[in-house]
Amino acid sequence: LPKGTHVVAVGVSNLSLKNANEAVNEYRWAALESCVGENPAVKAEGTYRLTLTSTVGITVGKAPPKNPSPPAQCTTDLTQLQADCANEQQAYFNQQMNA
């Protein structure tokens, strides 16, 4: 990023920076934790605004490792992973609705 002040929105996929700044959710399919599903909340819950200010250019991110090791092989079937994700999302939604 060049020097200056930058507002960064993180935390929810498919949520625009404009929405994060206004704390609203205009995109009904914004999904927490990258799972797929409708988000009934009208507020941009789960979103974080981060303001970065610097007098010099900065690199946002993490430097890659010098000797990267290959990623571990996933042994879980894709269909099972999708089902697990959907179940976790539903459990989280139920927990929030009952809180």
Tokens 């894709």 found at: 78
- Give dist(CA 22, CA 55) in Å, integer: 27
pLDDT of residue 34: 46
pLDDT of residue 11: 60
Per residue in 66-96, pLDDT (tens digit) is 777 776 777 778 888 888 888 888 888 888 8
| Domain locations along the chain | 4-59+74-98
Classify burial at 98, counting beta carbons within 10 Å of its beta carbon; exposed 0-12, middle 13-18, buried 19 or more: exposed
What mean pLDDT comes out for the span 25-54? 61
Q: Is residue 52 very low, low, confident or very high in pLDDT (cuts 50, 70, 90)?
A: confident
